[in-house]
Structure 1
Amino acid sequence: MMMMSRENMTSIVQKIAKQALATFRNPAVVGEQSKAFLESQSKLKSLLEEVRASDLRIVPRSVETVASPSPLQRVAPPVTYMHICETDSFSMGVFLLKTGASIPLHDHPGMHGMLKVIYGKLRISCFDRLDKPRDCASGVQFNPPLMPFQRSSLRPSVLKSVGEYTDESGPCVLSPQRDNIHQIDAVDGPTAFLDILAPPYDPDEGRDCHYYKVLRGAEQVQGDVWLLEIPQPNEFWCGGEPYPGPTVTL
């Protein structure tokens, strides 16, 4: 049996991981959005509100101290990821964005998520899928025109919110139905956030990440957009970094 140090048992990241497991371990309860699930999710959100970069032993980076390319890389990735832990129920890690970097518009199919900035500032633009367009858009025109095969990749959606988050902000929360598609942009310098996804991405289970481009048709309802599914943008890729913080054991 693995023994944890007192520091690890009491660390905020260990508490967050244990609460995430308690919140998301029963898919039936999560799917029903029961009172018990909502209360457990609220406890998790409260714990996330407490976490700071120092709790994860991460030093906020300036423009000068962002990680350099590894010997195998010609250019440093715009985004890196520190893996903390993963179970069948959830994954947790830290994303670090360079100045001006973005995580492009993407989705989290069938997944819940929480995102807590630990340093810097993020702009998060959230979209919801619509069951069908709210205007007469069957013949909607785009400029430039779409190729016929692209029509099947269009998704009627609505821009729900655009907000800025710092380490003093509460977490950004997404569900399978709300704010599930979003873009994350670093604002005014490098930034980092703690990220929880439940359950983790798993293409074999239908939880693969899809990327989108925003299109607007003529005479469309205010706020409504079309999202065109696209390949992962060439300018975006994610590298890896070791996680320096307290060990998490579940």
Structure 2
Amino acid sequence: MTESSVINAGGLDACLDGITATDVGVWPNMPYFKVKEISSFPKITYLHLSDCDKFSIGIFLLPPAGVLPLHNHPQMTVFSKLLFGTMHIKAYDWVDDGASISTPRSGSSKGEVGPVSVRLAKLKVNSAFTAPCDASILYPTDGGNMHCFTAITSCAVLDVLGPPYCDPEGRHCQYYRAHPFTCFSVDDKKLPDDEKMEDHAWLEEIDKPAGLLVVGAMYNGPKIVEK
């Protein structure tokens, strides 16, 4: 696999559809998938393949029950290819471009008190996927820009992000907690008659979840070279 074949292909999604776990040197019996202790967030491994100011390429290795919590990809387009395993994906898009709304919490909101800043989002994906399957694409404002990955079995996910995360340019990873639509009552946020409440949620920005551990490891697969 060459850098030029991936980036300059007429359709990156079609290119990723043809990539297999063998092509990038990963397999389900790698030691990264052995969970030694039970915790809320089993350790996830990230294999870095390539990056520049235009894109980054990497592979996430999730053991069974591994979770990448709900997070965003601001101003970015993301191509994801499940290389092996079964994974549940839940993804949202913002309903509009409006700012967050400060509103009182309901009494059922995890026992917390005081106002909370939330923003309305619509559910785009809520399904389990099993490899082999086509690559998915999420855009800055469509396709599920905020998503959560939950590994049902050992999983490997190849990600191509363009442009990559960059704090100075405002592209930093934010994490969210999803609240059911019925948790908050906001006068100017009424759903159209043809839309269901269960397909919407209020997303609250939170700090990086405690216990989430993503560690880097050496990529030992075929080298990516320019032509």
Q: Say if 1:65 and 1:125 are closer, same or farther in 2 by CA, change over 3 A.
A: closer
Q: Which amino acid aligns with 2:54?
A: S
Instruction: Give the deviation of 1:198 after TM superposition.
Output: 0.5
Is 1:201 the counterpart of 2:165? The answer is yes
- 1:91 aligns to what? 56
Gaps of at least 5 residues in structure 2 are 186-190, 192-196
Structure 1 SS opposite 2:8: helix
Q: Say if 1:142 and 1:113 are closer, same or farther in 2 by CA, change over 3 A.
A: farther
Structure 2 SS opposite 1:222: helix
Q: Identify the match of residue 7 of structure 2 among 17, 21, 42.
A: 21
Q: Identify the match of residue 59 of structure 1 among 11, 27, 43.
A: 27
Is 1:129 the counterpart of 2:94? The answer is yes
CA distance in 1, matches of 2:116, 2:35: 41
Contact preservation (8 Å) 2:180, 2:198: no
Q: Which amino acid aligns with 2:60?
A: F
Root-mean-square deviation over aligned CA pairs: 2.7
The answer to which structure has the higher strand fraction is 2
Q: Give the structure-1-normalised TM-score.
A: 0.73
Q: Which amino acid aligns with 1:66?
A: F
Q: Percent identity?
A: 29
Q: Which amino acid aligns with 1:248?
A: I
- 1:229 aligns to what? 205
Instruction: Give the deviation of 1:151 after TM superposition.
Output: 2.6
Q: Say if 1:228 and 1:108 are closer, same or farther in 2 by CA, change over 3 A.
A: same
Q: Give the structure-2-normalised TM-score.
A: 0.80
- 1:44 aligns to what? 12
- 1:151 aligns to what? 116
Gaps of at least 5 residues in structure 1 are 1-12, 24-39, 70-75
Is 1:211 the counterpart of 2:211? The answer is no
CA distance in 1, matches of 2:107, 2:124: 22
Q: Which amino acid aligns with 1:239?
A: V
Q: Which amino acid aligns with 1:104?
A: P
Structure 1 SS opposite 2:70: strand
